[in-house]
Structure 1
Amino acid sequence: MLLGRGIKTVQSVWSEYCDQKELTIAQTPSNKSSHVTRIPRSKAVMTLVLEFIREHRLNRASVVAKDVLALLVEHKRMKVDMTNEKHRAAALRVTQLFLARCGFKRGTQKGVSYGISAELAVKRDRYIRYISTQLQLSTPRTIVYIDESYIHHHYSRHNNSIYHPDDTASVPKKAKNKGRRLYFIAAIMSGGESDPKLLGLEIFEGGNRQPKDYHAMFTSEFFLEWFADLLDEIDKLQKYGVIFAMDNAKYHRTKPPDTPRGSMKKSDLMAACKDYGLDFDGVPTKPVVWASLKDFISRNIPAEVEKMATERGHVVAWTPPYHSDLQPIELIWSDVKGKVGRQYTATTSFEDVRRRLDSAFDELPSRTIYNCITHTENMVKEMNKYLEQLDEADDDAEESGDALSSDEVSDNSESDFKNIE
């Protein structure tokens, strides 16, 4: 039936209408109407519960329905006689139902990321403000994104392969080890839809004793030599005022050889402080001397790579820690390694992996590079808009006398990046 009712029901209603020329309005079923709930479904209550749960989870504390019930009672959002066991049990069931209907779940939250400190948030905001400003110029500056990665012998990407859940015999045996590694370093350059390029690609194999952290395979000497070649390549392309975006890897931030180190004697550190104009009251201990000296060095002595870039008229921008999503070259790594991994079989040799890796880089379309860079830069612009909205909200709050506390974000100057750790 079109009305969604049985024939007898329709006949009965029609007969009633024919006899009385009017219809009796049936009462709405109790399970179809809105009821007054003990816990208000207001935005204020949801915000209260969300902030309470978030605060406890960030401190690695467990949160259960009893904790939420106590919160609601404490903030007078729910009236409960906590001394009465039956009332308390009924209120707990109501709280559990409220949490379930609001979408809360129990267990380990998947896909979570590291919480960042206020200091890292400032570094992130500085980077976003700076890059966004450069992208909004009438003639945007060229940005070169630099990164390193690796792929091991038995790397496979078969997560889209067809299988039958009941066929356990088709489950492949897990490799006994990941095998040897191939390391690679490269850069991608923005420049519009027709000019994105892969630059400075270098692939090499590690030694017999390979470290767990692949970054240990890259040294400052190797990186500085590679960066010098990259600068020459940039000059040949006649690109000037380039921004080199790279992460905070130790070998990226190597200071000049004559920079004081914490392993030096206290007398040598004191002499360095005197040269830099740092004074102390009384007789400080070596840790105090080194702490002041280290802070001065990080703020005033540029890394070797920064000096090399500045001498050619370029600048280095340090991407904030734990924000690999701000590096479009990470998407290139995923694309290239995916092409290699999807070709893996049990008979794949290490030489096959090297050949497929070379082929994947050789056949990398410029359109893919352009799309990866555009995706990331659009995300940076959106994040910058969000930061501006937060600033406007803070200004409005200050005008109303109810200002929200916020960290200062420095201006969009290139000098910011010389001071970021």
Structure 2
Amino acid sequence: MRMGFQWKKTKDNKKILMERHDVRLLRIEYLKKLMQYRAEGRNIVYTDETYIHASHTTPYEWTDGSDKLIRKPIAKGKRLIIVHAGNESGFVTNGLLIFTSGSKSGDYHDEMNWENFQTWLQNQLIPNLQDNSVLVVDNASYHNIRDIQEPTSATRKANMLLWLEEKEIPVDPNLTKPELYQVIKEYKSKHRVYKLDLLMAQHGHQVLRLPPYHPELNPIEKIWANVKNWVAGQNTTFKLKDVETLARKRFAEITPDNWAAICSHVAKTEDDYIIRERMLDEALEEFEFMVNTGSSDESFGETSDEEDFYTYSQQPSTSKTHTDDLGVTPLDDDEYN
């Protein structure tokens, strides 16, 4: 479930690990919109947030034969929160934001919230974007703060009717609350408005959200990996100020050509997904699945209609790389927001 997959049981008693239907649908919709924006010649910009600890270093040790060794601190120490954006043309000018985290919860999302993200957008990103740009973001909660709270099953009936009236959705006012909420569920995703989308629209831009569990479709993840791997190889003082200096140095060294190479690789991944969708449909036609009766043997991890994928966090990658090359490399350990 956490990676967007579930087990399904076929009529011949085989169990198949399948991608969840709703995750696949969101990927298909994302790729269609992305191709449409590219065909329109729009400037597509990718953004994300990450962090680096003061003690960030490689797991390897080198020695000149003497007893003088540099020992990594036991504690991770303070960390830097980093925000940036870019595309095949390179980083957005003046888009780099680095600040020290003061959170003690262990989750940098406590500080990288909507207020901080909005300030960065208004002061650093939007003033440097080309007209009519498309901003690609992941599904971090602060990317998806709703402008108006939607009704829930606990909302008063009068407020349910008011919401439906404001959205010009015809409904019989004599319906019961469960009936009204069923109507609301059918329409609310179509009428959902996010503060990020409104802010970008005010400046003539649009927002495109990545499908859940797909960090490989965001080129900036490769940038994070490269910067963090390079810093890890250069970090000898384990002081946060020095780590920041190293990070800024590495960001300055990444060129538009480096970005273009990574974006080209991601484009190939997008093409692969598009080709596989038709093949997957054909392959699934060969299986006959059990009709779900609620048995745990038939389907594991079914998704409730109440779930909202745009509130989910993408899961961290577990692969590592220690190359300084800006070519296509495995992703670094990172929290995909």
TM, length-normalised to structure 2: 0.68
Aligned 8 A contact 2:6 2:19 in 1? no
Deviation of 1:312 after TM superposition, in Å, equals 3.4
Q: Which has the higher contact order (CA 8 A, sep 6+)?
A: 2
Q: Answer yes or no: is the 8 Å Cα contact 2:51–2:80 preserved in 1.
A: yes
Map of 1:202 onto structure 2? 97
1:300 alignment partner, SS class: coil
Whole-angstrom CA distance in 1 between matches of 2:253 and 2:70: 30
Which residue among 287, 312, 328 is the counterpart of 2:203?
Answer: 312
Q: Which residue of 2 aligns with 1:357?
A: 247
* Structure with more of its chain in helix, by fraction: 1
Which residue is equivalent to 2:276? 386
Query: Is residue 145 from structure 1 mapped to residue 41 from structure 2 by the alignment?
Result: no
Q: Does 1:212 align with 2:106?
A: yes
Distance 1:148 1:403, change over 3 A: same
CA distance in 2, matches of 1:170, 1:58: 52
Q: State the alpha-carbon separation in 2 of the partners of residues 188 and 329 from structure 1.
A: 7
Alignment counterpart, residue 328 of structure 1, candidates 219, 222, 234: 219
Cα distance per residue 1:33-86 (max 9 Å; x no partner): xxxxxxxxxxxxxxxxxxxxxxxx96599xxxxxxxxx9xx99xxxxxxxxxxx
Alignment partners' CA distance in 2, 1:367 and 1:344: 26
The offset of 1:226, in angstroms, is 2.1
Per-residue deviation at 1:128?
A: 2.2
1:143 is displaced (CA, Å) by 1.0
User: Structure 1's 381 and 59: CA in aligned 2 closer, same or farther, altered over 3 A?
Assistant: closer
Q: 2:171 aligns with which of 261, 279, 302?
A: 279
Cα RMSD after superposing both structures: 3.8
Q: Distance in 1 between matches of 2:73 and 2:137?
A: 34
Aligned residue for 2:55?
154
Instruction: Give 2:228's match in structure 1, choosing from 310, 313, 337.
Output: 337
Which of 298, 319, 331 aligns to 2:189? It is 298
Pick from 177, 180, 188: which aligns with 2:75?
177
CA distance in 2, matches of 1:295, 1:420: 16
Equivalent of 2:28 in 117, 120, 125: 125
Equivalent residues of 1:318, 1:420 under 8 A apart: no
Alignment partner, residue 85 of structure 2: 187
TM-score, structure 1 normalization:
0.56
Partner Cα distance (2:101, 2:113) in 1 = 12
Matches of 1:171 and 1:291 in 2, distance apart?
66
Classify 1:180/1:382 alpha carbon distance in 2 versus 1 (closer, same or farther; 3 Å): same
How far apart are residue 222 of structure 1 and its match?
2.0
Q: Which amino acid aligns with 1:283?
A: T
Q: Which amino acid aligns with 1:218?
A: M
- Give, in whole Å, the separation in 2 of the partners of 1:344 and 1:333: 16
Structure with more strand by fraction: 2
CA displacement at 1:387 relative to structure 2: 2.6
Equivalent-residue separation in structure 2 for 1:60 and 1:153 (angstroms): 44
The whole-number CA distance in structure 2 between the counterparts of 1:115 and 1:284 is 36
Partner amino acid, structure 1, of 2:100:
E
Q: Output the CA distance in 2 between the equivalents of 1:247 and 1:370.
A: 20
Distance apart, 1:388 and its partner CA: 4.5
Q: Is the 8 A contact 1:150 1:184 kept in 2?
A: yes
Structure 1: gaps (5+ residues): 1-56, 62-70, 76-113, 406-418
Q: Within 2, Cα distance between the matches of 1:202 and 1:144?
A: 16
| Fraction of identical pairs, as percent | 23
Shift of 1:348: 2.6
Distance, in Å, in 2 between the alignment partners of 1:265 and 1:204 is 43
For 1:226, the equivalent position in structure 2 comes to 120
Give runs of aligned pairs for residues 379-418 of structure 1, distance below 5 A. 379-390=269-280, 393=282
Query: Contact 2:49–2:81 at 8 Å: present in 1 too?
Result: yes
The alpha carbon displacement at 1:225 in A equals 2.7
Determine the structure 2 residue equivalent to 1:89.
none
- Structure 2 residue ranges without an equivalent (≥5): 290-307, 311-337
Query: What amino acid sits opposite 2:177 in the alignment?
Result: P
The aligned amino acid for 1:374 is S
Q: Structure 1 residues 177, 122: CA separation in 2 closer, same or farther (over 3 Å shift)?
A: same
How many residue pairs match? The answer is: 276
Cα separation, partners in 2 of 1:260 and 1:140, compared to 1, 3 Å: closer
> What letter is aligned with 2:27?
R
Cα distance in 1 for partners of 2:224, 2:254 equals 11
C-alpha change, 1:197 and 1:282, in structure 2 (3 Å) is: closer
Query: Which of the pair has more CA radius of gyration?
Result: 1
* 1:150 Cα offset (Å): 0.5
